[in-house]
Structure 1
Amino acid sequence: MKTQRKTPSRRVAFCAAFAVLLSSVGIAHAQDSDEETTSALSIPQDLKIFGENDPNVRRAAVRVNGDIITGTDIDQRLALVLAANTQPMSPEETERLRLQVLRNLIDETLEIQEAKAQEIQVDPAEIEQTYARVAAQNFGQNTQAMDEYLGRIGSSPTSLKRQIEGELAWQRLLRRNVQPYVNVSEEEVNELLARLKASRGTSEYRIGEIYLSANSANRASVFENAKRIVEQLSQGGSFVAYARQFSEASTAAVGGDLGWVRLAQLPTELATVARDMDRGQLVGPVEVPGGFSIIYLIDKRQVLMADPRDALLSLKQISLAFPASTSEQDAQKKAASFAEGVKRIKGCGDADSAADALGASIVTNDNVRIRDLPAPLQQLMLSLQVGETTPPFGSAKEGVSVLMLCGRDEAATNDGPSFDDLMTQIEDERVNKRAQRYLRDLRRDAVIEYN
């Protein structure tokens, strides 16, 4: 008996300031390459454009099958994305982002309209509950604080609640009209489990992806847009926020996170790149069938093997504070003297009294996971033995510290996903692909007027 689950949607545009609201599974690569080509079109190679078209000209409103999207709607939704970006954006980049936000609002409107046409309603109380959950995650259960925050950044509670409504409506529609018609056999799941066990000890990767579809007509412009996204991300932009806003893959709803995948599950172009990536590295745009991908390596581990970085440590942090006026040169001398004193400590049992003698403070934590430590310390802790300390670290302003290892509980062996987990993942991938086609058909049939 499988547990009921929510169906992941194609897109959510919540910015990184908000937690993921609606649970979804996105482990497998779920790109749905557009099967259309321009082969049936009659387009001359030496074409001439008659008239002018400036895509950056703002329009006061857009009417989608009679429903209006105003300029204020666009501005307020754009503010959510801009608030998640740590670097200022140029007017040109902001305007391009505004156009993308408009496209997303059109899709959102089509999703809500289709749900209503299918007599699927979203209770206003359910929207309020979800909104309150976001407030609880970000503002300590204070919806008024989030209302005020949205106002300060130029957005509004109404804009975010509309986004919640669109997501809930689309998920409900997919659960009723798409999910029941997706079938996965037990043989498929068992075959995947067998392949997984056969690959024990090989590497698997947790990858974030931003996928932009392209065809022969718009390939150059999509490539340039992808390059601009990479530039923004390299300057500190939130990968999760950009994935939710720009990515056309089904995993946009979870910030582009593909989950844990093996290279064989990826397109050849991505597998070739991912194989040589380091944790935290960003690469792209990479041309793949149907478009371009920007990928970010979140993590890497061995299939069905215990990850040493999941070990739980018992640590003592011994710290020596510096006076506020300490110069960099004096800090170096004090740190060197402190390091010599630490070397004389005879294990964790001697740490408290030795710290007092050094004029240092000591803090104990018995439940520290190695992967939760800063990256420079992780490798050090993997090779540390009980009673040993890290090299001193700190600054002239914050003082100097060492970590002493007092115990280690090794990570448990990873048994991998269960039968039901794998079946759910395969079903979700297929539902996502059908959802993309469903939305594409809605766009084709829509009557859209730009004022």
Structure 2
Amino acid sequence: MALATAAAVAAVAQTDDAPSTRLNLPANPQFFTDDDPSVRKATAIVNGDVITRTDVDQRLALIVLANGGRIPAEELQRLRDQVLRNLVDETLQIQAAASKDIKVEQKEIDAFYEQYARNLNRSTKEFGDYLKANGASENSIKRQIHGELAWRRLQGRQIEPFVNIADEEVRAVMDRLTAAKGTREYRIGEIFLAATPETMAEARANADRILEQLRKGASFVAYARQFSEASTAAVGGDLGWVRAEQLPEPLAVAAQRMSIGQVSEPIPVQGGISIIAVQDTRQVLTADPRDAVLSLKQLSVSFPRGMTREQAAPKVAELGAIASTMGGCGAADAAAAKIGAEVVTSDQTRVRDLPPPLQEMLLNMSIGQATKPFGSFEDGVRVLVLCGRDDPETTSGPSFEAIQRQLEEERINLRARRYLRDLRRDAIVEYR
């Protein structure tokens, strides 16, 4: 499924009067029982379907794994509460699909699970053992796969057939792209927390806690999947490539001030709060040098454990000297053999896929030149030799069909968000 833009997410506005005004609520309510309805227990029954403590624990373990285990103990309870909310939504989505006779076959779920295992270079048994050893399970992942497939198919039946994009809308976008040639586009990730005026302070506090964890090294993609209330949560919050004018104004202003890899402060937007990450940038309808494809040779040397910087320095200097004088890639293997360096060849490396400091260095190099030595004494010190470069051609921009699909997906995602809101409203959920 294509990705929704932030504009579609933020378009779910609070158009009614404030609830406290409509309901004539007292300013200082007095409660008659000790139960706090805001406190959610570890299990729930959703329209008769049970979510167990084990379900919550195993899904929480997946988040911990995705973040390398680096989640403070004080953060775990808040994550547990969020996981339970996610499982409630997931259950509602599966139930809604089943009510429309939409089935997801077990063999389809198993196929996706096998692909996850292959992506980690594991067999399905090895992957299952790995999950079990870390407090998760293959059933937890398969349940998530089931929910995502069911929800997508429900949208395909109940929403997509009723979304139509006029040719004039597509042409208008193409005209704007042409007019915007040379302007900057951003690859944006977003975590969106919905809020009303009454719940904005709570949402802001949640956003601050999420940001704190992101700055400590937590995975943006993992947190977006579990916390974001936008339809892009399933793809880790990825909004795709957007121009500033396609974003809500507060997000546009922030994105234009941010560097690649930077994460924003929580930003109030219509309907809630967003945290965004600028993952990459490029220019509209303009060849980007970072789309060049490089042919590289890497020379690397490793060091025994415990070797000091002073002991390793002569070897690093030798690597730098031989790389700068060897005369290009043709002599790389012989030069590497002289100093005991390992050689690795890569003929299909895009500049934009490299770390930013190396991007800048390689773009300013001529064929045959080598970078300065880089790396660490633990992982090895290396140099890259530039063997060739295929520069990108100027693009004519996305096709009519591609733009039409994007507009359709934006509208579908907006309606899907409203659909889920209605499911929550009508659900019977008992917490235990």
- TM (norm. structure 2) is 0.91
Equivalent residue for 2:239, pick from 240, 253, 258: 258
Alignment-derived partner of residue 270 in structure 1: 251
Equivalent residue for 1:339, pick from 301, 316, 320: 320
Equivalent residue for 2:3, pick from 21, 25, 28: 25
Are the structure 2 counterparts of residues 135 and 327 from structure 1 closer, same or farther at C-alpha, using a change threshold of 3 Å?
closer
Q: Which secondary structure does the structure 1 equivalent of 2:266 belong to?
A: strand
Displacement of 1:285: 0.6
Alignment-derived partner of residue 224 in structure 2: 243
Tell me the distance in 2 between the aligned counterparts of 1:136 and 1:366.
24
Q: Which secondary structure does the structure 2 equivalent of 1:275 belong to?
A: helix
Cα offsets for 1:397-450 (capped at 9, x unmatched): 555433222321112222221111111111111111111111111111112222
Displacement of 1:231: 0.7
The count of corresponding residues between Structure 1 and Structure 2 is: 428
Tell me the distance in 2 between the aligned counterparts of 1:216 and 1:284.
19
Of stretches 191-200 and 63-72 in structure 1, the one that deviates more from structure 2 is 63-72
Contact 1:189 1:422 in 2 (8 A): yes
Cα offsets for 1:304-334 (capped at 9, x unmatched): 1112112122223344555666431233344
Contact 1:87 1:237 in 2 (8 A): no
Displacement of 1:349: 4.3
Displacement of 1:75: 1.6
Equivalent residue for 1:180, pick from 155, 161, 174: 161
Q: Which has the higher helix share?
A: 2
Equivalent residue for 1:100, pick from 82, 86, 93: 82
Structure 2 unaligned spans of 5+: none
Cα offsets for 1:19-70 (capped at 9, x unmatched): xxxx443355321234343231212334445543457866363222222222
Tell me the distance in 2 between the aligned counterparts of 1:125 and 1:362.
43
Tell me the distance in 2 between the aligned counterparts of 1:157 and 1:360.
42
For 2:98, give the aligned amino acid: K
Contact 1:33 1:213 in 2 (8 A): no
How do residues 185-200 of structure 1 correspond to structure 2 at under 5 angstroms? 185-200=166-181
Tell me the distance in 1 between the aligned counterparts of 2:268 and 2:394.
37
Alignment-derived partner of residue 183 in structure 2: 202
Displacement of 1:350: 4.7
Equivalent residue for 1:129, pick from 89, 111, 124: 111
Structure 1 unaligned spans of 5+: 1-22
Matched, 1:40 2:22: yes
For 1:391, give the aligned amino acid: K
Tell me the distance in 2 between the aligned counterparts of 1:47 and 1:298.
45
Tell me the distance in 1 between the aligned counterparts of 2:282 and 2:58.
40
Equivalent residue for 2:141, pick from 160, 163, 187: 160
Q: Which secondary structure does the structure 1 equivalent of 2:369 belong to?
A: coil
Of stretches 289-298 and 171-180 in structure 1, the one that deviates more from structure 2 is 171-180
For 1:77, give the aligned amino acid: R
| Identity of matched residues, % | 51
Matched, 1:385 2:366: yes
Of stretches 75-84 and 393-402 in structure 1, the one that deviates more from structure 2 is 393-402
Equivalent residue for 2:59, pick from 77, 92, 116: 77
For 1:384, give the aligned amino acid: M
Displacement of 1:216: 1.7
Matched, 1:449 2:430: yes
Q: Which secondary structure does the structure 2 equivalent of 1:176 belong to?
A: helix
Q: Which secondary structure does the structure 2 equivalent of 1:434 belong to?
A: helix
Q: Which secondary structure does the structure 1 equivalent of 2:363 belong to?
A: helix
Matched, 1:372 2:390: no
Tell me the distance in 1 between the aligned counterparts of 2:128 and 2:342.
42
Alignment-derived partner of residue 211 in structure 1: 192
Q: Which secondary structure does the structure 2 equivalent of 1:29 belong to?
A: helix
